[in-house]
Structure formats: C-alpha cells, structure tokens
A and B are shown apart, each in its own frame.
Chain A
Amino acid sequence: MTTNGILQIIAYFGLLAAVTKPLGAYMARVFMGERTFLHPVLRPLERLCYKLAGVREDSEQRWTQYAASLLSFSFFSFLFVYGIQRLQGWLPLNPMGFGTAHGPSNATAITPDLAFNTAASFVTNTNWQSYAGEMTVSYFVQMAALTVQNFVSAAAGVAVAVALIRGFARQEANSVGNFWVDLVRAVTYVFLPLSLAGALLLCSQGVIQNWSSYTQAVTLEGAAQVIAQGPVASQEAIKLIGTNGGGFFNANSAHPFENPTPFTNLLQMLMIFLVPASLTYTFGRMVGEQRQGWAIFSAMSLLFLLGALIVYGAEQAGNPHLARLGVESSATTLQPGGNMEGKEVRFGIAATSLFAAVTTGASCGAVNAMHDSFTALGGLVPLFNMQTGEVIFGGTGAGLYGMLLFAILAVFLAGLMVGRTPEYLGKKIEGKEVKMAMLAMLATSATILLFTGASAVIEFTKDAYWNGSFGSAINNLNNGGPHGFSEILYAYTSATGNNGSAFAGLSANTPWYNLTIGLAMMFGRFLIIIPILAVAGSLAAKQKLAATSGTLPTHGVLFVMLLAGTVVIVGALTFFPALSLGPIAEHLLILQGRLF
C-alpha cells in the first residue's frame, strides 16, 4: 500500500461524509412533504404525475396496500422490459439493427430466457447482465427500458426504506405512507436532478452521449476499428446514483467511454454511496433523533473501510505466480505494481480496490475492473460484502432497510443476553419483527447456497435446451479449481444481493443460468421487501416507549460495534463453508504455487 493510495481512500471517505448531511436533510424534507428549494420547478411535475396516474396524494396506505402497489408496479415494469427487448428489431433508435436481419454478425440474440433474466435484473435493481451491451441491445432498449428501471427500481427501494422509517417514527398508526407518492417524490426530487447534474458533469469529462451508429475508424497501423457509441452519460449517471450498476458497455465502468479519467472515477464512487449514505441522515431526522442515523452510518463506515483496506492490501501485494515471471509487484513512482490483470492504468490499484469495495458494499455492481481477475483475498471481500445482505451502505433504500433488520436482530441478541424485552427507537421488538427479520435473512441465504450447490453439480445433456453446447453447468466456467467455484458462488450471491457485479468469466447466457439467476434476483428483492413492509406495519401500530435506565442505548460506540459484529457474524456463520471452498482454498493453493 502506498501513501498516495491511502490518501485517495481518505479523500473519498471525507467527501462522502461531507455530503451525507445536506442530501440527507433534503431527502427528509422531501419525504415528509415539506417544501424544498426545488419545489418551484418540480412541484408542478410531481402534481402532474399524480393527476395522470390517477393517484390521490393525501391518501395513506396500510402496509399490505403499500406492498401490493409496489408489486403491481414491478409486475408491469417486468412485462414492459421483457417486451421491449424482444421487440427491439421493430423499434426506433436502433442504428446497428440489433434484432433484425441486418444486425452485426457477432451480435447476441435476445432469447426469451435472456429477456427474462434482464427484465428480472433491472426491475429488482440488480443489473446483472448476461449480455454485452454494445453487441446486444438498441439505444431504445437502453433508454426506455433499462434507464427507466434504473430510476424506478432505485426509487422503489427508497420508498420501502421510508415506509420502514415511518414505522419507527409513528405510533398507533395503521398506515405507513403512500407508495405512489414516495415513488414519484424519489424520482422527481432525488434521482432526476442528481442524474441530470451527474450526466452533464460526466459528459464534460468525456463520457459519450449520442444516438449515432458505431464509428468506423482506421488505426495508425491501418487496421479497422469499430467504435461503439450511444446515449451513455444519461444512463451512466443513474446507473451509479440509483446503485443499479448495469453498464452501457460490457466492460462497465472500466470502459473509457463510461469512466474516462481518475476524476470521473472518484465522482462515480461518490455517486454510488451518495443516496445510501445520506439516507442514514434522513432516517435520523425522520425518527427525531439524529444520532441514531449517525450510529447506522458509523457501523456501515466501519465495515466499508475495513473491506476497502483488505482489498487494497491484497491487490497491491499482487499475484505471486506473475511475480515469479518477473512482473513487478511493488509500486514505484513510474508504475503501479500489484495485480494489474483486469485493471486500468488510469485508476491503478488503490482507486480500483476502493471502487470494488464501494460497488459491492452498495448493491451497485458497476465495476471499474474485472473482479474475476482479482487476487483470491481481493475477490473474497466483494463476495463477503454482498453476503452481508448488502448493508454496507447498500442499495438506495435497500441498504438502510437491510441494516435496520440487522439492528432489530442486534437488539434482540442483546436482549437475550441480558434477559430483557428488546427495544429499538422506543418500539418493542417482539416475535413478529424478529420472525420477519429471520425470514428475510434465511430466504436470501438459502437462495444463494442452494442455487450455487445446484449449479456445481447439475448435469445436462450436451446441446440440450438448458445449457446448450456447454452440457454440465460447470462447463460454463472460465477458470478451473476453487476459482471456478467462486465464479458460481459470486453469480448467485450477486444476484440474490441485487448487486449485479460478476466474476464475469462465467458464461451465464444459457437458459439454466438465466432462469436460476433471474429467480435469485426476484427472491432477493421481494422476499426482503415484503417482510420489511410487514415489520413497518407492525411497528407503526405500536406505542413509543420512553427510554429507561434499562434500555440499551442504540446511538453509542457499544451499539455500533454490536451492530457491525452482528452483520459480520451472521454473514460469516452462513457463508464461511462456501468461502472456504472458493477464495480461501484458492489463496492457500496459490501460496503453494498451484496453477489450474
């Protein structure tokens, strides 16, 4: 690790901490229906949305209606994204002719299973991609299907978080807010203005934004180079701010047209954590006790910084196999050292390691390097970050509601230790809340482990429908030995955590993987959201109790450690066996000099 590298990490975290309060306070005003400085411009747009959708702004919903609204919205979104993809050949803004007879010969066809996977992926805020953007989808699909879901799936996550916050803030109430109002406010007041500013800033630095067909260039040595184009900046901004992560191009934020400079790289990392971090402040403001928000922020920060430093240390140490071949592993002033396979020179080791910790801590999944080529321990951290359930800042809304589930578990564990009924923010945590929290955690853990296990052993006839010419599901791997297993584990972890990044060597565009990964994404989204809303409804109905001398304070260092410890222990207990078979075994075998 170099001084400069550590400084880059400190500078990033300092900026993040600085934006948390202003944006968090702004979002609190938005979701409490108060006036903000953007109201003169956006209030008419907001009202127009309610009018056209036939929604009453002042009506409140019980948690069941709130959940039904979200599910109905997601259902239509899913159908729409599926349909648009399948019909792209007949739709406009398709200069390369994808889905038509005159498309590029090496284009990927959008089969029903691929369209299912992509629809599930973008509707659930995952953005796992079984396809390579520049060789599969038209500009119209990128805009009208994928960019839209980037906005609304992020907004739906925020809405659920806000409903849960109301559960803590209200007492003896039978409603948790109105999904349509929260959704529209999140889109119009939060994501649209931020994305517009972000897109213009990114474009000024070199991110492209056009509807042209691909450019034919002749290189200095006289070879042909086809340069992919498209409306990238508009999608790039919301891809990050909405913690979606689906790249316009296959290489995602490693592609110079998505992320051209070290400065845009810093911006992108800030955009990823911007809303999730600020929501901790919003939470504190809405429950009327700011330090509760900072406690959550601190627990998330602790886990994040630890992870970032471990990735950085492992990647800077480099790959012993390549060091033996004479590849320099220590950094000098003239070269980055470390493990540069899959990394870009402009970012180097520190900014890449930090990005990996950010994108997997948040359920973003954008990558500025290929995680598949990380060292064993450098790849372990992204996996572990996702396996915590994406609560290290996490997705927009999803990170906060996931962490609040852990807070419920943490006070429950503390309550067991001292023999008192646990409370959190003055609300008694009883059987129903703990059951719902456990249901969410078990459902997602089971999804990851069962699908990973199945893919590791399932065999198909070669050239049969399910896995095409690969035959057995392990033939889709790009690497042998424990790393191959990690590729499968990473895929289902990423899908269930609604992250979307990949150990991208896995050839996932077959019906088996598309369908199982698609299902994992839906389980990982809705089997958490529904229990969360149930908890919100149950909490809202309860009275707020005054704190007594026997109440566990949930704003101090002790609680921060307890919360972070709960996250690590639950994650470690659940996934340690699987991680042992993957990155841990790989690390030990590399130390012995083994190749696969």
Chain B
Amino acid sequence: MWKQMIPGLRMMILLTVLTGLVYPSLVTAICQAVFPKQANGSLLMRNGKVAGSALLGQTFQSARYFHSRPSAAGAGGYDASSSSGSNLGPASRKLAERVQADKQAAGLTNAVPSDMLTASGSGLDPHVSPANARLQIARVSSARGVSESGMRRLVDQFTQGREFGLLGEPRVNVLLLNLALDEQYPNQ
C-alpha cells in the first residue's frame, strides 16, 4: 500500500493540472475566440443595457406581454442565479392548489395546454408551447390595441418547429417574442 502512495499523490497533482487547468483554459480560449456570443450567455442588449439572455426566461406580469410559465427559481421566479424546479410530486396538494389558483387568477376556464400552469425543471424555461402563446393572443392584442390577426402572425413567426423536424417540441421563445412586440407596436 505505502509503495503506491507517492505515485498516487504525484499522479493526482499531475492530472489536476492537465484536466483542471489546462483543459478548461484551452476550451475557454477557443470558445471565446470562435463562439464569443454563445460563450458569454447569448445576451440580448436593449438601449445599451443587457436585457436578458435569449436562452433564459423572464417574469412577465403585464397584460401587454406574453407570459412565461410559472417558475420555482428563486423567491420571485426566473432568478437566473438560483435555477430550480418546484420538486412537487404528482400527488402533491400544494401543486394541485397552485395550479388551481393560477388558473383562476389568469381567468382561464377551459382546458389549458400542459405547459401553461406547470413550472419547468430549471425555473428558467424561455419557451411556451404554441398553444399556450395562442391562448394569450386575445389578452395581449387588446392590451396593445392591435388586431388579433397581426398578433397571430407575429406569434407564428416566432414559433419554432422541432429541431431537424424530429427533436424536442414546437415552441415559442417568450422573451424574443416580447422584444419584437415592443419593437413593432411600441406606443400603443
């Protein structure tokens, strides 16, 4: 056993330098040079300030915006330094009560898309389903005083299909949609 201790220590230090310092530094250097936008978080700028990341959701409460899914990240939701799901199980009374309360608060009476009242795993899901976005068109159009058909076209434009026609799910990026909304219908 003792004979193996010295190589053990040396090997540990050596591999730490190789895989813990050289490798991540090399990856950082290449990524910063070749993919600077992605490597720094796909940040979106508005009026010279960071308005968020194209990959991360935000809280929207105003009727003038499309709303994201419920979020369990941080105290107020969509805290991008405290990612988290609700971790409520299928038989959780808290979950059922939350869904019911959110449904009433949003004035929804019919069936709702499965993503609309459920919190995501990260609490930072940037997307909603196309059905979810379409259900919100009437509210946003009336709050902005624009036609529902124009709004519908915008939602369709921001609806992404499955990747390569196969992977994942069709989806709408809420932040990108709302940014476009502010651009196209600024002062209405």
A: residues with CB less than 8 A from B are 4, 7-8, 11, 45, 49, 52-55, 65, 68-69, 71-73, 75-77, 80, 104, 106, 132, 134-135, 143-145, 147-148, 151-152, 180, 183-184, 187, 191-192, 195-196, 199-200, 203-212, 214-221, 223, 225-229, 231, 233-235, 238, 249-251, 254-257, 260-263, 265-266, 318-319, 321-322, 325-329, 332-348, 351, 367-370, 372-376, 379, 478-483, 486, 503-505, 586, 589-590, 594-596
Contact = CB atoms under 8 A, between A and B. Distances in A.
Given A262-B168, A344-B122, A219 B83 contact: no
Interface string B29-59: 0111011001111110010011111011011
Contacts of B100: 325
A431 to B, nearest CB: 27
A184 to B, nearest CB: 8
B21 A144 contact: yes
B81 A135 contact: yes
B181 to A, nearest CB: 9
Given A261-B163, A335-B131, A325 B20 contact: no
Contact of B27 (A71, A199, A334): A199
Contacts of A211: 28
B146 interface: no
Nearest to A104: B81
Given A144-B21, A196-B23, A220-B179, A251 B88 contact: no
A595 B96 contact: yes
A71 B167 CA distance: 43
B114 to A, nearest CB: 4
A151 B15 contact: yes
A225 B15 contact: no
A257 B131 contact: no
Contact of B89 (A249, A340, A586): A586
Given A220-B178, A334-B113, A370-B86, A265 B55 contact: no
Interface of B: 1, 3-12, 14-16, 18-21, 23-24, 26-28, 30-32, 34-35, 38-43, 46, 49-53, 55-56, 58-62, 65, 69, 73, 78-93, 95-96, 99-100, 103, 108-132, 134, 162-164, 166-171, 175, 178-179, 182
Interface of A is mostly: mixed
A233 to B, nearest CB: 6
A294 to B, nearest CB: 27
B134 to A, nearest CB: 7
Given A225-B80, A335-B131, 12 more contacts: A72-B9, A180-B11, A206-B42, A209-B27, A220-B46, A220-B60, A234-B27, A263-B164, A265-B167, A337-B114, A339-B114, A478-B87
A250 B171 CA distance: 24
